[in-house]
């Protein structure tokens, strides 16, 4: 990374130390990683966007270099942690950028705090409800974007928490890239993922995948950029549904040749960074 970065830390209300990477100056752009990933995953955004913004990339509790307590692995607690960070750093007019579970944290923040301290949102590849209900109609299933049923989710979480947790996690993370991604890139993402202890990773994944945000998303009333991919684990149609619920939001769908996997901010970093820069202004 050629830009000059520094690290910092914030202590949450329940005494947990969260660490972050920071670069640049100007309007705050606070970036929240997806499930079991870390602040370092946003290396390309830190590099490209810190010439214009104060870029802050967070390690959530248990993740990356942050403390790893034995409790608090719930989306609601993570959104409170995010609020603690914004208050402690006295950040205003913040652009929040979240990937995958990071979007769920943003939606939980909105549910509790509304637009407090927030000016814009960038929502990268997350659907409204990851786990399906067998009573849903086809239209409800398409809108929610669920990729698991409950038995499949439980089996996956048990696999992550069990003796084959590293192998299960490796396979899951590997499925989130396009076929063009190198083995080295996938291994880098796996290595970041494994910094969260597997039992906590399983607890958090279950909580994340059983949250229903379909009533919260339509309440968002700040400018929002919604991003999805044609070969992501999440259906692009369901990402489009998120966009349709947020008045005036912008939508970008990456195709496979543009790196349109779940990790399009890595595989398609140049395009995504330009989209974010144009969106924030």
- pLDDT tens for 195-245 read 999 999 999 999 999 999 999 999 999 999 999 999 999 999 999 999 999
Half-sphere exposure of 193 (CA within 13 A, CB side): 25
Tokens 């070969």 -> residue = 231
> What is the pLDDT, as a whole number, of residue 24?
98
Domain boundaries, the chain: 6-280
Please provide residue 19's backbone torsions phi and psi, each rounded to the nearest 5 degrees: -115, 155
CA angle, residues 75, 172, 147, in degrees to nearest 5: 65
Task: Give the C-alpha separation, 135 to 37, whole Å.
Answer: 33
Q: What is the mean pLDDT of residues 9-26?
A: 98
Q: Does the pLDDT at position 1 exceed 70?
A: no
Q: pTM for this structure?
A: 0.98
Question: Span 6-280: which CATH code?
Answer: 3.40.50.1820
Q: What is the mean pLDDT of residues 57-66?
A: 98
Task: Specify which residues 23 forms β-bridges with.
Answer: 55
Q: Does the pLDDT at position 126 exceed 90?
A: yes
Average pLDDT, the chain: 98
Task: Give the C-alpha separation, 220 to 277, whole Å.
Answer: 21
Share above pLDDT 90 across residues of the chain, in percent, rounded to a whole number: 99
């Amino acid at each position: 990374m050629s830009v000059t970065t520094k690290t910092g830390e914030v202590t949450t209300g329940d005494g947990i130390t969260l660490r972050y990477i920071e670069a640049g100056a100007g309007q705050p752009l606070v970036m929240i990683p997806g499930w079991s990933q870390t602040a370092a995953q946003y290396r390309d955004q830190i590099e490209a966007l810190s010439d214009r913004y104060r870029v802050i990339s967070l390690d959530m509790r248990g993740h990356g270099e942050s403390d790893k307590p034995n409790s608090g692995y719930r989306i609601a607690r993570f959104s409170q942690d995010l609020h603690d960070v914004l208050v402690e750093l006295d950040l205003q007019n913040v652009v929040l950028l979240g990937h995958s579970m990071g979007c769920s944290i943003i939606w939980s923040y909105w549910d509790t705090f509304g637009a407090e301290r927030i000016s814009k949102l960038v929502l990268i590849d997350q659907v409204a409800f990851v786990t399906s209900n067998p009573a849903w109609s086809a239209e409800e299933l398409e809108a929610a974007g669920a990729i698991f049923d409950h038995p499949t989710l439980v089996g996956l979480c048990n696999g992550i928490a069990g003796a084959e947790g590293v192998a299960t996690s490796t396979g899951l993370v590997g499925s989130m890239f396009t076929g063009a991604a190198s083995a080295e890139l996938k291994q880098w993402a796996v290595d970041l993922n494994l910094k969260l202890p597997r039992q906590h990773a399983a607890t958090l994944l279950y909580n994340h995948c059983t949250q229903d945000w379909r009533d919260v998303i339509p309440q968002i009333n700040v400018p929002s950029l919604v991003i999805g991919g044609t070969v992501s684990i999440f259906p692009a149609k369901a990402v489009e549904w998120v966009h349709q619920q947020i008045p005036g939001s912008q939508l970008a769908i990456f195709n496979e040749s543009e790196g349109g996997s779940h990790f399009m901010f890595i595989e398609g970093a140049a395009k995504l960074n330009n989209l974010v820069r144009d969106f924030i202004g």
